[in-house]
């Protein structure tokens, strides 16, 4: 083979080898670049994985925090509902016991209430021995600075408390992680709630807020319970006073009834004893005036006529007294018969016409025609109108007016009014007007004789018929007597 060909073959082989080496070099470079990219990607993924792990830890912490907050809120809601549905102080603490010892999740817990002497009374304790409780209460009663700070409404916790306060709380409770919140009522601080963890479980701001809310709810529940207790005690005391007063009134009423009965019996006995000699005196006076026992001088006759008149007045007084006494004692039975009020009033008007004309009094009568005939004790009912109209005549000046008006009311009651244009009655006298023997102090009463029994008798007759009587008056303008009687069309 020629040398030139061999050289060409070698050159071709070298060229081919060079080509292959060049190609391999490019592949190596590419591989190195790929390795660099993979390393960067791995580092990125590693960073992402670390971030994911960190985020997962934070999410778990946040979830734990949220779970704790939700649990706390649920406990707060349940506890609030439990203590707000009772007004018994002991029951409030009984219902709080589970929340403090189990549901809240703290290792230590204590609720104390201050008494009137500012002594600390522990109502609930959790995770504390009797020796620890005794030590804590003894220290609290001496640490007036801490109690005064609580009285201002401040809640103290290990994360956020002044160093001096924190040191005192650590000395008293010997717990590093804590919340101490006052129980407040309207009167001020009445106690406090303490919770804490002796281990390295730190407390959060959320724990402080939760315990503060719980302490406020306890304060409100205790305030409501104490207010209820005060109201209940007051009502019991008032009830005892009412019972005692009622007993006294019943005793007094019994005594008054006995006095009234004795008075009625006395009046009845005296009246009967007086009526017999009065009848004899009047009878003898009438015989002497008539001259049946011989002629009587005029001067003697005048005196006999005065005896006769005064005897009539005394008999009327005795009869009125007897009637009042009988009505009060219930011994008078009303003799009911059908009456027409318009005719009854006409009869009374006819009886009193001489007195009405003597003073030139204007007479007005208005009786509702719709009033049916009704059952009344006619004789007693007439006395009502006689007494009221006679009283109006007495106090009405000459040329005055007396009006009698009777209407039928919707409640099946008859209402009668006797109105005059007389001198009127002072306000302070109206309340006494129906008292027996009471007479208003005025010029007319000083000059006109009367017994003070006419109005009380009229009122008692009205009441015996199931009605009522009252009076309205204005001094200088006149007086109106009103009374109502139920309409009875059948016996």
Structure confidence by residue, pLDDT tens digits, 271-320: 666 666 767 776 767 777 777 777 777 777 777 777 776 676 666 666 66
Strand partners, 108: 196
Look up residue 57 and give its two tokens.
Answer: 């830890």
> Is pLDDT of 447 > 60?
no
- The CA dihedral of 167, 173, 175, 178, to the nearest 10 degrees, is -80
347 and 228 in a single domain? The answer is no
Q: What is the pLDDT of residue 457?
A: 84
Name the more confident of 465 and 9: 465
The pLDDT of residue 185 is 87
Most confident of 147-161, 265-279, 310-324: 147-161
Q: How many domains does the chain have?
A: 2
Which CATH number does the domain housing residue 458 bear?
3.30.565.10
Verify that 351 and 462 share a domain, yes or no: yes
Of the listed ranges 69-78, 325-334, 367-376, 401-410, the least confidently predicted one is: 325-334
> What's the CA gap between 457 and 464, in Å, rounded?
10
481 and 340 belong to one structural domain? yes
Lookup: tokens for 123:
């109502």
The pTM assigned to this predicted structure is 0.46
Closest CA to 118 of 93, 150, 166: 150
User: Which residue, of 186, 205, 234, is where some domain finishes?
Assistant: 234
Residue 256 lies in a domain: no
Flag whether 341 is in a domain. yes
What's the token pair of residue 225? 């319970």
Of 199, 234, 269, at which residue does a domain stop?
234
Q: Is there a domain that residue 111 lies in?
A: yes
Neighbours of 352 (CB within 10 A): 19
Position 10 in a domain: no
Instruction: Place 482 in a pLDDT band, splitting at 50, 70 and 90.
Output: very high
CATH number at residue 214: 3.30.450.40
Across all residues in the chain, what is the average pLDDT?
80
Q: Closest Cα to residue 345, out of 398, 402, 400, 295?
A: 402
Q: According to the model, what pLDDT value does residue 434 have?
A: 82
Structure-token pair, residue 478? 């006149």
Q: Does residue 477 share a domain with residue 350?
A: yes
Out of 234, 266, 283, pick the residue that ends a domain: 234
Q: Three-state SS string across the chain, please? A: CCHHHHHHHHHHHHHHHHHHHHHHHHHHHHHHHHHHHHHHHHHHHHHHHHHHHHHHHHHHHHHHHHHHHHHHHHHHHHHHHHHHCCCCHHHHHHHHHHHHHHHCCCCEEEEEEECCCCCEEEEEEECCCHHHHHHHHHHHHHCHHHHHHHHCCCCEECCCCCHHHHHHHHHHHCCCEEEEEEEEECCEEEEEEEEEECCCCCCCHHHHHHHHHHHHHHHHHHHHHHHHHHHHHHHHHHHHHHHHHHHHHHHHHHHHHHHHHHHHHHHHHHHHHHHHHHHHHHHHHHHHHHCCCCCCCHHHHHHHHHHHHHHHHHHHHHHHHHHHHHHHHCCCCCCEEEECHHHHHHHHHHHHHHHHHHCCCEEEEEECCCCCCEEEEHHHHHHHHHHHHHHHHHHCCCCCEEEEEEEECCCCEEEEEEEECCCCCCHHHHCCCCCCCCCCCCHHHHHCCCCCCHHHHHHHHHHHCCCEEEEEEECCCEEEEEEEEECCCCC
Segment 136-162 mean pLDDT = 84
Residue 367 pLDDT:
93
Q: How confident is the model over 187-196, as a mean pLDDT? A: 88
The verdict on 341 and 476 lying in the same domain is yes
The pLDDT of 402-420, averaged and rounded, is 93
In-domain check, residue 434 = yes
Of 137, 199, 143, 136, nearest to 172 by C-alpha is: 136
- Asked whether the predicted pLDDT for residue 28 surpasses 60, the reply is no
| Same domain? 351 vs 469 | yes
Residue with the larger pLDDT of the pair 286 and 109: 109
> 91 lies in a domain?
yes
Task: For tokens 């209402």, name the residue.
Answer: 415
Distances 258 to 251, 255, 272, 285, 329 between C-alpha atoms, Å? 11, 5, 21, 40, 11
Assigned domain for 75 exists: no
The answer to whether residue 164 is domain-embedded is yes
220 lies in the same domain as 342: no
Determine the Cα–Cα distance for residues 339 and 367; give it in Å rounded to an integer.
14
- Full domain range(s) for residue 373: 336-486
99 and 216 inside one domain:
yes
458: its two tokens: 């009229």
Residue 2 confidence (pLDDT): 60
**pLDDT category of residue 416 using cuts at 50, 70 and 90:** very high
């Amino acid at each position: 083979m020629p040398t030139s060909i061999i050289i060409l073959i070698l050159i071709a082989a070298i060229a081919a080898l060079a080509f292959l080496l060049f190609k391999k070099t490019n592949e190596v470079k590419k591989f190195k670049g790929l390795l660099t990219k993979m390393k960067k990607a791995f580092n990125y993924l590693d960073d992402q994985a670390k971030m994911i792990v960190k985020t997962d830890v934070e999410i778990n912490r946040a979830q734990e925090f949220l779970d704790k907050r939700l649990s706390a809120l649920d406990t707060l809601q349940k506890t609030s509902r439990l203590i707000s549905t009772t007004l018994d102080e002991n029951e409030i603490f009984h219902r709080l016991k589970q929340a403090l010892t189990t549901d809240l999740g703290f290792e230590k817990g204590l609720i104390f209430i201050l008494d009137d002497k500012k002594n600390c009374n522990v109502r609930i304790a959790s995770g504390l021995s009797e020796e620890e409780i005794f030590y804590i209460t003894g220290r609290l009663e001496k640490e007036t600075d801490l109690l005064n700070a609580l009285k201002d409404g401040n809640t103290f916790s290990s994360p956020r408390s002044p160093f001096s306060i924190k040191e005192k709380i650590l000395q008293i409770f010997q717990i590093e992680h804590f919340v101490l919140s006052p129980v407040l009522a309207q009167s001020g601080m009445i106690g406090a709630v303490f919770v804490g963890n002796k281990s390295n479980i730190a407390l959060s701001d959320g724990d402080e807020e939760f315990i503060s809310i719980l302490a406020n709810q306890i304060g409100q529940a205790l305030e409501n319970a104490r207010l209820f207790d005060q109201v209940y005690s007051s009502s019991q005391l008032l009830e005892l006073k009412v019972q005692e007063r009622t007993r006294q009134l019943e005793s007094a009423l019994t005594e008054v009834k006995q006095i009234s009965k004795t008075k009625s019996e006395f009046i009845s006995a005296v009246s009967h004893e007086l009526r017999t000699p009065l009848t004899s005196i009047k009878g003898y006076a009438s015989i002497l005036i008539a001259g049946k026992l011989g002629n009587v001088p005029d001067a003697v006759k005048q005196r006999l006529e005065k005896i006769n008149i005064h005897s009539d007045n005394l008999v009327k007084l005795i009869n009125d007294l007897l009637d009042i006494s009988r009505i009060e004692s219930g011994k008078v039975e009303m003799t009911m018969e059908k009456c027409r009020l318009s005719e009854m009033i006409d009869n009374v008007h006819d009886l009193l016409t001489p007195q009405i004309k003597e003073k030139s009094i204007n007479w007005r009568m208005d009786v509702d025609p719709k009033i049916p005939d009704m059952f009344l004790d006619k004789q007693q009912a007439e006395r009502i109108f006689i007494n009221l109209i006679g009283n109006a005549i007495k106090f009405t000046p000459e040329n005055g007016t007396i009006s009698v008006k009777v209407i039928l009311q919707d409640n099946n009651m008859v209402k009668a009014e006797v109105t005059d244009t007389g001198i009127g009655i002072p306000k302070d006298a109206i309340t006494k007007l129906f008292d027996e023997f009471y007479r208003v102090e005025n010029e007319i009463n000083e000059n006109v004789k009367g017994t003070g029994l006419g109005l009380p008798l009229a009122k008692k007759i009205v009441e015996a018929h199931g009605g009522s009587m009252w009076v309205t008056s204005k001094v200088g303008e006149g007086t109106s007597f009103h009374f109502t009687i139920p309409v009875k069309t059948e016996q």
